Amino acid sequence: MRRDFLRAKIHGATVTDANLAYTGSLTLDRDLMDAADLAPFERIEVYNLTGGERFATYVIEGRRGGGDVCVNGAAAHLARRGDRIIIAAYAQLEEAEIPLLRPRLVFVDAENRPRPAPVEVEADTMAPSRP
């Protein structure tokens, strides 16, 4: 049996633009993609901390170092410039893979640049506990 687990998360990113005219997706700074190990066109979940909306889309590569977090297409109705969001990617794991999971947790500053994780959420404490 395969089970779904958090693989990567970008926490507290600030939406820099919302573009209804684009056909879909979320444009993300390449530095953030690298930090979270996200690939172009990978499926993501987006959780809007400001408005409470949740939606699924995919990532497209934005310019490196620009801090871009642009919600595109119909999803632009669910997030506005200045909203803070969480971007999450999941993986399906077999039972034997679960103890090896170490999610990529990326925390960002006000300019959407990666910053150190708060002490209380060190990556190795995020691994699922096993009895």
Question: Among 22, 25, 47, 90, which one carries the catalytic annotation?
Answer: 25
- Beta strand spans in the chain (E): 2-14, 17-19, 26-29, 43-48, 54-62, 69-72, 84-94, 104-108, 114-115
Residue 96 one-letter amino acid: A
Q: How many whole angstroms separate alpha carbon 125 and alpha carbon 19? A: 37
Asked about 129 being catalytic, the answer comes back as: no
Catalytic residue among 22, 58, 90, 129: 58
Per the annotation, the verdict on 25 as an active-site residue is yes
Residues annotated as catalytic (active site), given as ranges: 25, 58
